[in-house]
Structure formats: structure tokens, C-alpha cells
Structure 1
């Protein structure tokens, strides 16, 4: 592939769709870089497939066959990656850069590396302050790195103004003496194409994630709507239940009606005289 660039940046690969050249299978999108910071070298990349499960696979840099506008083509399929090892991967991306004298230089947002060997030729630093907002990037030589941690990189004492400019911000381009407006217009068009491409990739990624979520919701809905199996819901006969009871006779005896209680005397004698004497009855009383 003679038309392929010999030097790449991480932004050229991140979020790109990954295709297998042999099987044309898709393996998700490049999610993060596989880097070895002590040697300042890019070893490969990790692909992430799926929104809910988040399965990772890894491929080496030498498996990269071609870099297109919409995808990355590999010579062979990437290998499944252990999630625990993925979380332990080191990278200097998004690390804050400080000098040995305590000066805040900026943040590492990208790097330039050799496509064949993976060795990093420069870290791209977004300056701290308004220049970073304007889009300016500095080249930071890896040899200047003294140490690094989880969130910061310590470099040798330097004047940030002396760092080579990888990409000038819009403010610097406009403020130059006798500006070349044709060059400025071309730069703006290039930035617009880059933003359009990034937006296209993000929209495609969101669309794929939404389709996956909808498919899982449909699967759950189909499982909920499945008819119940009533064949196993036949009630068990009472005789079968009785056979399993060891103390069924004792239970039946306990349920017998209690004997009627009687007073000790044989009978209760009626009253000697009626409550209402017959002479008090009224023959015209309609209730009698």
C-alpha cells in the first residue's frame, strides 16, 4: 500500500470501524490505544463491540493493512481481550503536562508515531489557556519526559513558547502579518471536512448502539409475551396428597365435631307461670 502514510496519529484511527480483510467481518470500532509508555511506543489498538456487553478485542499494529476514510482494514481478525487486562493498559493520552519547575504546559491529546515500528516521534499537547481553546497544538519530544503517573506527565524544565507548533490555531492564522486568505480558506475547509467526518462517525456509532438496544428490548418483549404452559398446572388429586401424609388418620380424628356440652342437671325446668298471663291477652290484637 504505497499510498498509505508512513506516520500516523491516534486521531486517524480512534472510533474507526474495523473490518477483517479475509472474512469482511466487522469487529466494532477502535476504542483505545495499546501503548507502552516506558518505551514511548504504540503496540496496537483495542476494538469495542456492543454497547451493553462491551466486548473488547485487540490487534497488533503490524496487522494494520489499510486506513480508509470510513474504516480500518486488518490482515487478520483481532483476538479477544481480557477485560481485566484492558483496564490495566497504560496510556499517556489526556495526561496533564507539567514541567520540573512546576509550570502547567497543557494536556496530551494525541501523538504522532511510525506506522511500521510504532515508536512515538512526538506527543501533541493542547496548550493550557486560550491557545488550547483556539485549537493550537505543540509537539512534545518524548525524550523530554522525566516521569509519569496516573494523570500527569513531568517533563524537563522548558519554555512552552519554544515548542514546535504542530497545528496553528485559528487566532494565530488570522493574526499573522499579510495573511494569505487563500491558505486560510483552505485550512478552514480542511477543518470543516474533518469535523464533518468526525460527526459522521459519531452519528454512525450512536445509530449502531441504538439499534442494539432496540434489538435487546425486542428480545425481552418477546420473552414476556410467550404463552404460559398450562400442561403442568393440573391440580393434584386429594388422594395423592393423602397418600403422602403419614398422620392423615390423626388429622381426620382431630377434625371430628366436638361433643355437645350438657349441664350436670338432667334438664332445665320450665317456668312455673307464663311470663304473660292469658287474662292479659287482647282478642282484638292483630298480632295474636
Structure 2
């Protein structure tokens, strides 16, 4: 069985394999989650299987047995999905995020789920740079959501001002990379300068060592030559 996970993003569930807990048969892959904005929790999901995803199953969250790292195990699939007609509550990924003061702050991009109950831990939105906010993904508590429509959601402005950054944006990462390159380039120049300044000293040391070795060789050669002459004279 797949290991249970504590929290995960809606996007991480999409295309996740769904298996029947009792028959072990493959039900399909997740294509959609149903989100109840009033209760701030996921109430079900849709998965597709077959040729070009032609076969569709609607599954309530109560039918979910386990959400693992690789798959979702579900119970009583046939009985409940055939006897109930479930209304699909689409997750409005991509809708605009506005504050109750009339300011556009970004786009709704994802949400974090507690798998055991389907409860929303945090909503995630991308910043549009409102009030100098860095680009990136920010968290928004469920209680901050005021109203929801097909094109936009309205949230409490004070909550947006105090929202935490979830991930850095591309511009911030590029800025950090540029700073690293500048720092690395500066260090490289300093190292080259140090090497450049050290070359004469190294050359001088090598020259001294070579001269000393040459003098010793000459001395030894001279001593050997003198000894040989003395032997010849004897």
C-alpha cells in the first residue's frame, strides 16, 4: 500500500492513479476535484479511464480510503457511483483574485489539502505585484475568502497584506542567480589577481632553487674532477 501523506496540493492529485480498494482494479486517473467553497473542503473527484478517457467515474470524498504518494484507494465504487448523481463543483484554478477593497492582487493557482478529511489548509495565489509584493506564490487562509465567482474570487485585503510567500517567483530567482554570478565573477577576478601577483614570487623562488641546485652540482663536479686529477698524479 502507498504511504499516507499529511498534506498535498490539488495539482499533485491530478493524474493520480485511482484503485478499487477491494478488487485492486484500476479505476482511472484523477482529472478533476470538487471543491465546496462554503465548507472549504474537497468533497469528491472525477477520474477517467478507457480509450481516450471515455469512461468517467464520480467519486465522493467519503469513498476515498487512502491517499498515498502513488495512488488513491477508494471503497464501494460501483454501488455508490451508480446510485448517486453528483454535482461537479469545479475548482476555479486560474480565476482572478481581488480584495474586498477592489484591488486585483493576482490569480488563484492551487490549494493545499488535508487528505484525511479533504479540508483546505491554504489557498494559493500568484502575485501580480500589488503594493510592491514580489512575484511568486502566496498562501491565503480559507477564512480570508469572501465570495467566489466564475471569473474571480474576492478576499479580505488585510489577509492579503499579511499572506506568506509559498514559493519564490521567476524574477526573484533570476535576481538571486544574477547576484551569485556577480559574486562568483568578482571572486574569480580576485583569484586571478592574486595568482598574477604571486607568479613573480613563484618564479623567483624557482630561480633561486635552480641556481642553488646548479651551484651544488658545480661544486660536486669540481670536487670530483680534483679528486680524479690527484689520483692520476699518484
Q: TM-score, length-normalised on structure 1? A: 0.51
Higher strand share: 2
* 8 Å contact from structure 2 (residues 66, 73) kept in 1: yes
The aligned counterpart of 2:197 is none
Shift of 1:93: 3.0
Aligned to 1:137: 137
Query: Alignment partner of 1:80: what SS?
Result: helix
Match of 1:65 in 2: 66
Q: Secondary structure at the match of 1:11?
A: helix
Partner residue, 2:155: 155
Distance 2:86 2:4 in 1: 31
Tell me the distance in 2 between the aligned counterparts of 1:43 and 1:150.
Answer: 19
Task: Indicate if the aligned counterparts of 1:42 and 1:61 stay in contact, CA closer than 8 A.
Answer: no
Cα distance between partner residues in 2 of 1:34 and 1:90: 5
Conserved 8 A contact 1:56-1:83: no
- Counterpart position of 1:122: 122
Summarize the Cα distance change of 1:20–1:136 in structure 2 as closer, same or farther, 3 Å threshold.
Answer: same
Deviations 1:35-71 (A, max 9, x none): 21111111221212343745332132562324233x3
What is the aligned-residue RMSD (CA, Å)? Answer: 3.5
Q: Shift in Å at residue 96 of structure 1?
A: 1.5
Secondary structure of the residue aligned to 1:39 is: coil
Structure 2 CA distance for partners of 1:44 and 1:83, relative to 1, 3 Å: closer
- Give the corresponding residue for 1:279: none
- Distance (Å, rounded) in 2 between the aligned partners of 1:3 and 1:29: 18
Displacement of 1:157 in angstroms is: 2.2
**CA contact 1:45–1:61 (8 Å) conserved in 2:** no
Deviation at 1:5? 2.0
1:2-44 CA distance string (max 9 Å, x none): 9522112111211112111321211111111122111111122
Any conservation in 2 of the 1:144–1:155 contact (CA below 8 Å)?
yes
Query: Normalising by the residue count of structure 2, what TM-score does the alignment of the two structures yield?
Result: 0.61
Q: 2:41 maps to which residue?
A: 41
Contact 2:46 2:56 in 1 (8 A): no
User: Partner residue of 1:107?
Assistant: 107
For the structure 1 residues 75 and 159, does the alpha-carbon distance in structure 2 shift closer, same or farther, using more than 3 Å as the test? closer
Task: Specify every segment of 5 or more residues in structure 1 that has no aligned partner in the other structure, as ranges.
Answer: 182-288
Q: Which runs of 4+ in 1 moved over 6 A?
A: 81-84, 177-181
CA offset at residue 122 of structure 1? 0.9
How far apart, in 2, do the equivalents of 1:123 and 1:149 lie?
15
Conserved 8 A contact 2:58-2:86: no
Name stretches of at least 5 consecutive residues in structure 2 with no aligned partner.
182-234
